[in-house]
Amino acid sequence: MIKQENVRNFSIIAHIDHGKSTLADRILEKTKALTQREMKEQFLDAMDLERERGITIKLNAVQLNYKNAADEDYLFHLIDTPGHVDFTYEVSRSLAACEGAVLVVDAAQGIEAQTLANVYLALDNDLELIPVINKIDLPNADTERVAQELEDVIGIDKDDVILASAKDDIGVDEIMERIVSDIPSPSGDPENPLKALIFDSLYDPYRGVITYICVKEGSVKVGDRIRLMANGKEFEVNEIGVFRPNPVPKDELKVGDVGFLTASIKNVADPRVGDTITLAKNPAESPLPGYKRLNPMVFCGLFPVDSNQYNDLREALERLELNDSSLQYDAESSQALGFGFRCGFLGLLHMEIIQERIEREFNISLITTAPSVIYEVEKTDGETIEVDNPSTMPDAQLVQEVREPYVEATIMVPNDFVGAVMEIAQKKRGQFVDMQYLDEVRVNIVYHIPLSEIVYDFFDQLKSKTKGYASFDYDLIGYHASKLVKMDILLNGDTIDALSFIVHRDFAYERGKHIVDKLKDLIPRQQFEVPVQAAIGNKIIARSTIKAMKKNVLSKCYGGDISRKRKLLEKQKEGKKRMKMVGSVEVPQEAFMAVLEMNDD
Ligand SMILES: Nc1nc2c(ncn2[C@@H]2O[C@H](COP(=O)(O)OP(=O)(O)OP(=O)(O)O)[C@@H](O)[C@H]2O)c(=O)[nH]1
């Protein structure tokens, strides 16, 4: 039995490719657990079987035994953080389960955007940092410069930095010793009422929701009646255990333990990441700090290219929702696109992941409409409504005021790029708030920007204009009135509801002009000439024309061999997959996104 003071809970944080997985593998190897890669291989081999048995393994909280140089026994919990930057909240909750983090920086690359973003999350959670410069074996390693950067930018004493090569097993023992000496043990009291942090969850068809928990106070046993503090719902614990890295059942988890808990929870939306579990009979007074209810911020329409796949799409969404409580959807019908769903997502990346999964795992080709935010619309009759779909925006004469969500955006860049960042922010209707030098080279810039302006390509623009150096974060700060109007797009004289969008009045003409030109290029020529118009209310503000088609694709290889023709037809079919007949015009997927693109691309 290992005492609480010999428990160490930590994560490894790093910019992508700096060596997080390689270091984790080394630590697993040295503590004689299976390495992640072995696990994954085994897991993949046994996948079908595992599926049948309904066992699901997610390698994100491994318990390890470690004997240090002084021959004392320690218990490590190595907690993985979600890979995606955009799920900042989830990363932050995983870190909240730890007391420390190993910060890995590549010896050749130095500090990068993700390094900083992760460091700030770690500091927000009061974690002890163990700085490591990895890949010192590389010929172009510049450890002196990187160590200096750690000192200047993050404020880490460069003498504290461990020089390592996870690949060649240099410095790894030192890292493990420092985990023991520098990271505090969990501080909770086993006699207090239970407080367990949910830092991840997973749906298993046989056991219900598996929650990944870290016990911060008290203890929990099989058979206990637990309460989820955010919604008050109660369940009886069926199973608890730890990952070593295979799941090992336990009778009890207590302060400092990190593992899993199942309680026949049928709905993934019940145990939310960040919520606190307590005991029904002796509940904690207050939950652990920092729980945030995540509401979808970005909405878009998903329509099957083949309308016969509507039911398949519904099933796909139902399945995905089981593992993703932040996904929302409602049936929607569009004159242009037929039957589909209006879906709500946490952010753009979340949206892209869901779209990908629907297309890949369920084999459904989708047309997605441009992402939109939720607008608050005060009507002239005094009623206030929420509009998450531009096509449902009431007519201008019925609207008193439109309010849109604003965020406070924090952008961190080397000072060479300050001008570039300001230019982008200004174009996105940003209002400058503050600028501070973090050190000689790094600048922190704060803007208030409408959320609608950053949901599409803001981060991409930022990254490309700053050579990938910008790190970016944002927080919702509330709703502000803006001069917003609905812009309709007409193809061949018909309004296409799925192409309507909301735009600031001052930018309306420019955007209208830009989009009709863009659509002219994106929509393939048809057998006939197609006018493209942008309108506000009844007023046409811009127009372009798609010329009629001249020749068909086969005429090019007239007389050529048949296999070539077939190939060409196949290719054409491929291209068609993401097209939708809208009235008498074929519209490609890109056209639905064009409304959001910046004007200078
Ligand atoms: N030369 C050298 N290469 C290393 C070292 N550690 C990791 N690498 C290599 O760097 C690449 C990225 O390593 P990973 O461990 O996958 O990096 P990661 O940070 O986990 O990256 P993601 O899983 O993509 O987030 C791999 O090709 C590793 O083999 C090292 O100490 N020296």
pLDDT at 561: 54
Q: Which atom of ligand 1 is nearest to the CA of 15?
A: 19
Give per-residue pLDDT as tens, 263-318. Answer: 999 888 888 889 999 999 999 999 998 777 777 888 999 999 888 999 999 999 98
CA of 179 to the centre of ligand 1 (A): 21
CA of 243 to the centre of ligand 1 (A): 24
CA of 536 to the centre of ligand 1 (A): 53
CA of 22 to the centre of ligand 1 (A): 6
DSSP letter string, 362-423: S---EEEPPPB-PEEEEETTS-EEEESSGGGPPPGGGEEEEEEEEEEEEEEEEGGGHHHHHH
Q: Where in the chain is the domain with CATH 3.40.50.300?
A: 4-182
Task: For the beta carbon of residue 390, count every other beta carbon within 10 angstroms.
Answer: 23
Q: How confident is the model at residue 54 (pLDDT cuts 50, 70, 90)?
A: very low
Which residue from 17, 40, 60, 87 has its CB within 8 A of the most atoms of ligand 1, so it is best to mutate?
17
Pairing of strands 252-254, 276-279: unpaired
Q: Residue 288 has what DSSP assignment?
A: P
Q: How confident is the model at residue 46 (pLDDT cuts 50, 70, 90)?
A: very low
Average pLDDT over residues 499-514: 90
Q: Where in the chain is the domain with CATH 2.40.30.10?
A: 195-279
pLDDT at 272: 86
Q: Is the pLDDT of residue 52 over 50?
A: no
Give per-residue pLDDT as tens, 178-233. Answer: 999 999 999 999 999 999 999 988 888 888 899 999 999 999 999 999 999 999 99
pTM of the model as a whole: 0.74
CA of 37 to the centre of ligand 1 (A): 13
Bridge partners (DSSP) listed for residue 91: none
Q: Whose CA is nearest to atom 7 of ligand 1?
A: 19
CATH 3.10.20.440 fits 390-482, yes or no: no
Q: Which atom of ligand 1 is nearest to the CA of 24?
A: 15
Q: Which atom of ligand 1 is nearest to the CA of 134?
A: 31
Give the closest residue to 216 by CA, choosing from 292, 290, 124. 290
CATH class for the domain made up of 486-596: alpha beta
CA distance 357 to 362: 7
Q: Whose CA is nearest to atom 21 of ligand 1?
A: 17
Report the CATH number of the 4-182 domain. Answer: 3.40.50.300
Q: Is the pLDDT of residue 75 over 80?
A: yes
| The dihedral sign for the CA sequence 234, 239, 243, 249 | positive
Bridge partners (DSSP) listed for residue 126: none
Share of the chain above pLDDT 90, in %: 51
CA distance 131 to 157: 9
DSSP 3-state assignment of 480? strand
CA of 19 to the centre of ligand 1 (A): 3
Q: Is the pLDDT of residue 48 over 50?
A: no
Q: Phi and psi at residue 179, in whole multiples of 5°?
A: -60, -40
Q: What is the mean pLDDT of the chain?
A: 86
Q: Whose CA is nearest to atom 2 of ligand 1?
A: 135
Across 279-283, 409-413, 496-500, the highest mean pLDDT is recorded for 279-283
pLDDT at 525: 86
Q: How confident is the model at residue 342 (pLDDT cuts 50, 70, 90)?
A: very high
Q: Whose CA is nearest to atom 30 of ligand 1?
A: 135
pLDDT at 240: 95
Which superfamily does CATH assign the domain made up of 298-369 to? Elongation Factor G (Translational Gtpase), domain 3 (3.30.70.870)
Tokens of 319: 């399945």
Regarding the domain delimited by 195-279, which CATH topology (the fold level of the hierarchy) does it fall under?
Elongation Factor Tu (Ef-tu); domain 3 (2.40.30)
188 or 82, greater pLDDT:
188
CA of 455 to the centre of ligand 1 (A): 31
CA of 135 to the centre of ligand 1 (A): 8
Residues 6+ apart with CB under 8 A from 39: 57, 59, 245
Average pLDDT over residues 251-263: 95
Q: Where in the chain is the domain with CATH 3.30.70.2570?
A: 486-596
Residues with CB under 6 A from ligand 1: 14, 16-22, 83, 134-135, 137-138, 165-167
CA of 405 to the centre of ligand 1 (A): 40
Q: Whose CA is nearest to atom 9 of ligand 1?
A: 19
Q: Which atom of ligand 1 is nearest to the CA of 23?
A: 15
pLDDT at 204: 83
pLDDT at 566: 59
- Given the cut 0.90, state whether the ipTM is greater than it: yes
Annotated binding site for GTP: 17-22, 134-137
pLDDT at 90: 79
Q: Which atom of ligand 1 is nearest to the CA of 138?
A: 1
Q: Which atom of ligand 1 is nearest to the CA of 25?
A: 15
Q: Which atom of ligand 1 is nearest to the CA of 83?
A: 25
Give per-residue pLDDT as tens, 511-555. Answer: 899 999 999 988 888 888 999 999 998 899 999 999 887 655 555
Q: How confident is the model at residue 56 (pLDDT cuts 50, 70, 90)?
A: very low
Burial class (CB in 10 A: 0-12, 13-18, 19+), 395: exposed
Q: Is the pLDDT of residue 88 over 80?
A: no
Q: Whose CA is nearest to atom 23 of ligand 1?
A: 21
Q: Whose CA is nearest to atom 27 of ligand 1?
A: 17
pLDDT at 552: 56
Q: Which atom of ligand 1 is nearest to the CA of 168?
A: 31
- Cβ atoms of 26 and 169 closer than 8 Å: yes
Which residue from 22, 25, 85 has its CB within 8 A of the most atoms of ligand 1, so it is best to mutate?
22
Average pLDDT over residues 30-54: 57
Annotated binding site: 17-22, 134-137
Q: Where in the chain is the domain with CATH 3.30.70.240?
A: 390-482
Q: How confident is the model at residue 581 (pLDDT cuts 50, 70, 90)?
A: confident
CA of 167 to the centre of ligand 1 (A): 8
Q: How confident is the model at residue 83 (pLDDT cuts 50, 70, 90)?
A: low
Give per-residue pLDDT as tens, 354-396. Answer: 888 898 888 999 988 988 999 999 999 999 999 999 989 998 8
CA of 156 to the centre of ligand 1 (A): 23
pLDDT at 49: 42
pLDDT at 86: 56
CA distance 134 to 130: 12
Average pLDDT over residues 484-491: 93
Which residue from 12, 13, 16, 21 has its CB within 8 A of the most atoms of ligand 1, so it is best to mutate?
21
Q: Where in the chain is the domain with CATH 3.30.70.870?
A: 298-369
CA of 472 to the centre of ligand 1 (A): 24
∠355-359-362 over CA atoms, to 5°? Answer: 120
Average pLDDT over residues 75-99: 81
